[in-house]
């Protein structure tokens, strides 16, 4: 499909809106992120490659922090680190005054390696092991979220006197999102329903070791409507008055042209207005954004390996579900472009290299005259791509590059075949 220069420019402008703030085309029509040509990054660091705009990360951290503190001064933004558990990301957010939510010992280890103050860490998990809880209390983790009565049993054995805890409440709120990332409805594996939550509250209040600060609630991820968040706040208020309310995260990011998620400020408005209506005025509020903090700041680069022209045309790249599981797991839609021919073109099936028919990165995406060797950029991959990268078919997990002011620095190296074999023991013949 052929377009004139004006039409291509309009299409390119719409596409660039999905890339990190400040992304642009240079005089040669090359796509730049963080002031760096994406084609040159692919040449220097190889593909697949995760590219992160450092300024974009800082801006988003500041925007969340300022929006919350202006509306509710006694508050803290806590990054849900599972969205992008990279030490460089956590170190940057720590510098912006954010706290950190970790879901298990591995994420805690990354946070500690990044130099995060353990007092700012919130430990989550519906199945925390005794070893993980021991690790947390020995590290001095500030808050442990109780998700079940077994957590209480273990903490009373392991924790020093004065371990601060929150109890996760299941509010029976079902948002409009994918079933796999909906967590607030009845029957969810997360949290405690009303009767169990009240029992846990009573038990912790009589504990000699644990200090009950308050309640936690989280209803899911990639939620594009604000109304369920207000209902969750009203629901958690029914359990009584507490010093701390952690209202979770879940506000969605924009992945496609059609999606229009609420602004950060609108989301915070809804939460704080509901808090003023239902919660104590002197309570401390916490929120735990993950996806929305990092998604748009990330871009994944691939190199085209083959083009099978026909109905449909398949454009295959050197990555796929090994570096982006969102499509296969949740049916998430992405967009993409050739980095030096941005916008326009005919619809193709952008597919990966893995031995699965489900390894289809984007169905029906417009690419302009794709050829083997081209570099393809996929925006909005800063959340849940790096963290769920895997070794299917022996794929090597990609590196991470931070870009700022035209300079690029490697913060995670590419995995090697030696890494793949590092845990393999010498075969033993029986």
Q: Quote the pLDDT of residue 417.
A: 97
386-428 pLDDT, tens digit per residue, is: 999 999 999 999 999 999 999 999 999 999 999 999 999 977 6
Q: In whole angstroms, what is the distance from residue 344 CA to residue 12 CA? A: 8
Mean pLDDT of 268-273: 97
DSSP letter, residue 413 = P
Entry pTM: 0.94
Domains (range + CATH), the chain: 5-53+295-421 (2.40.37.10), 72-289 (3.20.20.10)
Residues 6+ apart with CB under 8 A from 1: 344, 345, 346, 366
Mean pLDDT of 228-252: 95
Range of lowest pLDDT (9-18, 121-130, 238-247, 321-330): 9-18
36-90 pLDDT, tens digit per residue, is: 999 999 999 999 999 999 999 999 999 999 999 999 999 999 999 999 999 999 9
Q: In whole angstroms, what is the distance from residue 421 CA to residue 417 CA? A: 6
Q: Quote the pLDDT of residue 221.
A: 82
Q: In whole angstroms, what is the distance from residue 250 CA to residue 120 CA? A: 20
Q: Quote the pLDDT of residue 185.
A: 81
- What mean pLDDT value characterizes the chain? 94
Contact yes or no for 290/251 (Cβ under 8 A): no
Mean pLDDT of 83-102: 98
* Other CB atoms within 10 Å distance of the CB of residue 34: 25
Asked whether the predicted pLDDT for residue 1 surpasses 70, the reply is: no
| Closest C-alpha to 221, from 332, 321, 147 | 332
171-228 pLDDT, tens digit per residue, is: 877 776 777 777 778 888 888 999 999 999 999 999 989 999 999 999 888 989 999 9
State the first-to-last Cα distance of the chain, in angstroms, to the nearest integer. Answer: 62
Please identify every residue annotated as catalytic.
355
113-152 pLDDT, tens digit per residue, is: 999 999 999 999 999 999 999 999 999 999 999 999 999 9
Contact yes or no for 122/102 (Cβ under 8 A): yes
299 has which bridge partners?
51, 379
Contact yes or no for 307/368 (Cβ under 8 A): no
């Amino acid at each position: 499909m052929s377009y004139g220069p004006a039409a291509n420019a309009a299409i390119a402008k719409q596409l660039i809106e999905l890339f990190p703030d400040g992304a642009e085309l240079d005089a040669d029509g090359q796509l730049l992120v963080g002031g760096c040509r994406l084609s040159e990054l692919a040449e220097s660091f190889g593909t697949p490659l995760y590219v992160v705009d450092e300024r974009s990360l800082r801006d988003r951290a500041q925007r969340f922090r300022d929006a919350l503190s202006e509306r509710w001064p006694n508050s803290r933004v806590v990054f849900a680190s599972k969205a992008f558990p990279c030490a460089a990301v956590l170190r940057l957010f720590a510098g912006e005054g954010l706290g950190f939510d970790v879901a298990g010992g591995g994420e805690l280890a990354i946070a500690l390696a990044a130099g995060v103050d353990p007092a700012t860490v919130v430990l989550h998990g519906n199945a925390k092991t005794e070893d993980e809880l021991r690790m947390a209390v020995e590290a001095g983790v500030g808050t442990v979220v109780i998700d079940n009565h077994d957590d209480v049993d273990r903490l009373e054995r392991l924790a020093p006197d004065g371990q601060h805890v929150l109890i996760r409440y299941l509010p029976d709120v079902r948002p409009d999102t994918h079933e796999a990332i909906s967590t607030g409805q009845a029957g969810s594996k997360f949290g405690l329903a009303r009767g169990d939550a009240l029992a846990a509250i009573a038990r912790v209040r009589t504990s000699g070791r644990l200090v009950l600060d308050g309640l936690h609630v989280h209803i899911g991820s990639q939620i594009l409507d604000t109304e369920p968040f207000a209902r969750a706040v009203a629901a958690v208020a029914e359990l009584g008055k507490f010093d701390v309310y952690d209202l979770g995260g879940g506000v969605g990011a924009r992945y496609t042209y059609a999606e229009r998620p609420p602004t950060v400020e609108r989301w915070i408005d809804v939460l704080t207005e509901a808090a003023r209506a239902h919660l104590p005025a002197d309570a401390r509020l916490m929120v735990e954004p993950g996806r929305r903090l990092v998604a748009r700041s990330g871009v994944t680069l691939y190199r085209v390996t083959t083009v099978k022209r026909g109905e449909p045309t398949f454009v295959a790249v050197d990555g796929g579900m090994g570096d982006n599981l969102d499509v296969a797991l949740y049916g998430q839609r992405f967009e993409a472009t050739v980095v030096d021919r941005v916008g326009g073109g005919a619809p193709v099936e952008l597919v990966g290299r893995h031995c699965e028919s489900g390894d289809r990165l984007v169905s029906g995406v417009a690419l302009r005259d794709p050829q083997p060797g081209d570099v393809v950029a996929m925006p909005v991959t800063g959340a849940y791509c790096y963290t769920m990268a895997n070794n299917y078919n022996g794929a090597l997990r990609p590196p991470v590059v931070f870009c700022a002011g035209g300079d690029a620095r490697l913060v995670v190296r590419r995995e090697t075949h030696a890494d793949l074999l590092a845990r393999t023991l010498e075969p033993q013949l029986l």
